[in-house]
Amino acid sequence: MAEPNMKRRKLVLIGNGMAGVNTLEQILKLTNAFDICVYGEEPYPNYNRIQLSYVLEGSKRIDDIILNSREWYEENGIQLHTGTKVVRIDTKDKRIYTAEGETAEYDVLIIATGSKPFILPVPGANKDGVIGFRDIADCETMIDASRTFKQAAVIGGGLLGLEAAKGLVQLGMETTVVHLMDSLMERQLDEVASGMLKAELERQGIRFRMGTKTTEVLGGSEVSGLRFADGTELEAQLVVMSAGIVPHIELAKESGIETGRGILVNDFMQTSAPDVYAVGECCEHRGVCYGLVAPLFEQGAVLAKTIAGIEAAPYEGSSVSTKLKISGVDVFSAGEYLERPDHQVLRIHDDWHGHYKKVLLRDKRIVGAVMYGEVSDAPLLTRLIRDGALMTDERYAELFGGGTACCGGGNKESIVQAMADDEIVCGCNGVTKGDIVRVIQVDGLTTVDQIKMKTGATRSCGGCKPLVEQLLQFVLGDSYQEQQPVKKGICGCTTHSRDEIVAAIKGMHLTSVREVMMVLEWQQSEGCSKCRPALNYYLGMAWPAEYEDSRQSRFVNERLHANIQNDGTYSVIPRMYGGVTTPEQLRQIADAADKYEAKMVKVTGGQRIDLLGIHKADLPAIWKDLGMPSGYGYAKALRTVKTCVGSQFCRFGTQDTIAMGIQLEKKFERLWMPAKFKMAVNGCPRNCAESGTKDLGIVGNEGGWEIYVGGNGGIRMKEAELLCKVKTNEELEEICGAFIQHYRETGNYGERTSEWIERLGIEHVRAVVVDDLARRQALAQGVEDALAELQDPWQEVIESEKLQRDYYQAVEVDVK
């Protein structure tokens, strides 16, 4: 560790992916001697690329695959620049330059630029609608295409290609995989396993063109199909290229750093330039570029020790094995997998259960294996192949169950017992056997979920869960108790559901986050980024006059009253009620934009003005100068009330929408809710203010108002549903209040109204907040009680001293 008065060195990481950030995580465990700065081209913090297929098919959201939130960088003193491309490295002056003209010095530089998809060099490959599958932007492009087009082609029958195809089928597209070879995943699987995989994927709806060479992408400016070497064609409005990856070496090459297929590194990940290192898919070590996660983490472990000045064994390459879950099917491959004349072949093929296992021997030594369907012996086979172990009768019984017709049945205790402490168990997150054994022994952990919370093992693809369970059983011995299925809590810290937690808060009169965790026996004493904000909200909803607001449990944007941006600066949005402003307000905004050097002044979609590029240290002062309430552009609360000009000015307007919008915005602006909440007020069915895609949309007509609820204009678009029609402004306000309060009381934290209504049903919501007058009035009174406890709308954001105190206050948990 660095001495307190020792000058900290500057460490710059180019590339914000899994390999580079995992290396930083290892460095932070070893030393605090560096000021760290990270540059990433994508507008996101570090995320799990392995799970992009889940985002594509819709089972996960982008937030679900984030590995390190922006707050993690902040809390570890790391300056993060997202959406920023580094274009040059001056290895003599030790300085990097970005595309925006910014520059930074370094003492130590890590290049972790990863790889890019290989785009077939065929005519038409640059047409609109031809993409790779490597990042979130590619997922978003495919999701958008699925809303418009019906047919897709995926070129490449490897892992990523198959995952992309399955995601597109899930999105409703007729999808064909075009593969040059006659077998899928021919670099990992033999013909039998490949055939079993193809048959299963065909059952799942994927079509195949095997042994087919693509010669041209058809269409005008946009793709319309593919032409093949045999003259046949395939119609497609989306083409996904997944025929391999190419290391990103352009930056290093143009900066004079030696490259081959990748950036050349030695056994300590050093490049040809002094104090410049490379790690991950971009580098080439002993002639090999690795594309799997586990070798990249092994490289990172060596590099972290090297940079921290700790003696490290050299990286000598990785014994590559592939254990993957492809569209719900487990496959495994390690070492040699294609049979040769000098091989002795041990094989079990069980079509009934869909299991296949093949082990290859040379001179009675285990040199390779392939498995399909049942892969629990993967850790054992990986070690045996790596060690070149002799096959014996005992090992045969261990692998093949004594010759019986099954695919396994070995002594699992011997598998984990024989593993080295530094052997990777969770390839997605770089967790070793030693890491897991340590937390079991030192922290007294007894469940897989506890191990996941502590180490990250199993939190990504979940493929290592059986091995983690085996380690748990091995370490605990006789005290191990097989875990029965447990009900799912709001997060891994508890088994309690949202309803149980709220019932306990109300029934036992709990008034603080800490109290809830103690009484309900939280498994993690400090909680996590999912449960702490949720508990803070539930407490405020239940006891608005009594609860202790936990500032540390709020998101960083809520603590600072501004949205953090991809370059580490902030976005400040003052509130403009109903989208209406005055010349005086505009002058205040313009003066503040000049004074604090806003990088951009933008009119938002919610009829407000956004000041972008404000530095964190200036936030208290800019709010004081503005003298305006915050627009809550960061909050799980009312964001905007969008209005048309209504009957005041519009010839079609039937109601005074501006007055109604301002009235509703001023009433509900400070009220915390389960998720962000947007409103709109239209003066006629022409819908200029877009009421049909808002959480609460109001449309005026000659006889009064129509109320629409549960709309969403985001990633999961949903049209709002008609809740009711009312004649008076008083009835409108009461029903709006009752609707909001019912949502506050019954919504899960983070659940938008579109999801909430989908769960409860519009008939239920209508019965509670419209038809049942007594219940409606009670809910309306509940929202009034909550509003009565809220302070003046702009008091908090203009009190500079208080904001400064919140800003410097230590954050207890990583809340993203």
Angle at 534 between CA 772 and CA 712, to 5 degrees: 60
pLDDT at 683 over 60: yes
Q: How much of the chain exceeds pLDDT 90, in percent? A: 61
* Tens-place pLDDT, residues 489-509: 888 788 899 999 999 999 999
Q: How far is CA 63 from CA 46, 530, 733, 747, in A?
A: 11, 11, 34, 19
The pLDDT value recorded for residue 813 is: 36
209/806: higher pLDDT: 209
* Buried-exposed string 76-108: b where 16+ CB fall within 10 A, e elsewhere: eebebbbebebeebebeebebebeeeeebebeb
The pLDDT value recorded for residue 406 is: 43
* Tens-place pLDDT, residues 44-77: 999 988 888 888 887 788 888 888 888 889 889 9
Pair 369, 334: CB distance under 8 Å: yes
The pLDDT value recorded for residue 6 is: 64
What 3 state SS string does 252-301 have?
A: HHHCCCCECCCEEECCCCECCCCCEEECCCCEEECCECCCCHHHHHHHHH
Residues contributing to the annotated binding site: 644, 650, 684, 688
791 — pLDDT class (breaks 50, 70, 90)? low
Helix (H, G, I), strand (E, B) or coil at 570: strand
* Buried-exposed string 328-348: b where 16+ CB fall within 10 A, e elsewhere: ebbbbbbbbbeeeeebeebeb
pLDDT at 798 over 80: no
Domains 9-115+247-308 and 321-410 share a fold: no
The rounded mean pLDDT for the chain is: 88
Q: What is the mean pLDDT of residues 217-243?
A: 96
Residues contributing to the annotated binding site for [4Fe-4S] cluster: 644, 650, 684, 688
d(CA 637, CA 675) in angstroms, rounded, equals 6
Q: What is the mean pLDDT of residues 395-402?
A: 81
pLDDT at 407 over 60: no
Measured in whole angstroms, the distance separating CA 122 from the mean position of its chain's CA atoms is: 34
Give 636-793's CATH code, choosing from 3.40.50.150, 3.40.50.300, 3.30.413.10, 3.10.20.600. 3.30.413.10
Tokens of 511: 């008034």
d(CA 323, CA 320) in angstroms, rounded, equals 10
- Architecture of the domain delimited by 130-243: 3-Layer(bba) Sandwich (3.50)
* Tens-place pLDDT, residues 164-173: 999 999 899 9
pLDDT at 403 over 70: no
Nearest to 741 by CA among 775, 773, 708, 702: 775
555/679: higher pLDDT: 679
Parse the chain into domains and list their residue ranges: 9-115+247-308, 130-243, 321-410, 424-479, 498-553, 636-793
796 — pLDDT class (breaks 50, 70, 90)? low
pLDDT at 285 over 60: yes
pLDDT at 23 over 80: yes
307/411: higher pLDDT: 307
- Architecture of the domain delimited by 321-410: 2-Layer Sandwich (3.30)
Nearest to 581 by CA among 526, 631, 525: 631
816 — pLDDT class (breaks 50, 70, 90)? very low
Pair 252, 240: CB distance under 8 Å: no
pLDDT at 558 over 60: yes
451/401: higher pLDDT: 451
Nearest to 209 by CA among 167, 154, 264, 166: 154
d(CA 242, CA 495) in angstroms, rounded, equals 41
Rg of the chain over Cα atoms, rounded to whole angstroms, equals 29
Helix (H, G, I), strand (E, B) or coil at 165: helix
514/815: higher pLDDT: 514
The pLDDT value recorded for residue 572 is: 93
pTM (two decimals): 0.69
* Tens-place pLDDT, residues 455-491: 888 876 667 787 888 888 888 887 877 655 556 788 8
pLDDT at 566 over 60: yes
Cα atoms in the Cβ-side hemisphere of radius 13 Å centred on 563: 17
* Tens-place pLDDT, residues 315-339: 999 877 776 666 678 899 989 989 9
Residues contributing to the annotated binding site for siroheme: 688
Q: In 111-265, which ranges are continuous DSSP H helix?
A: 136-148, 159-170, 191-203, 250-254
428/365: higher pLDDT: 365
Strand 696-701 versus strand 677-682 pairing type? parallel
CATH 3.50.50.60 for domain 9-115+247-308, yes or no, is yes
The pLDDT value recorded for residue 715 is: 64
CATH homologous superfamily, domain 424-479? BFD-like [2Fe-2S]-binding domain (1.10.10.1100)
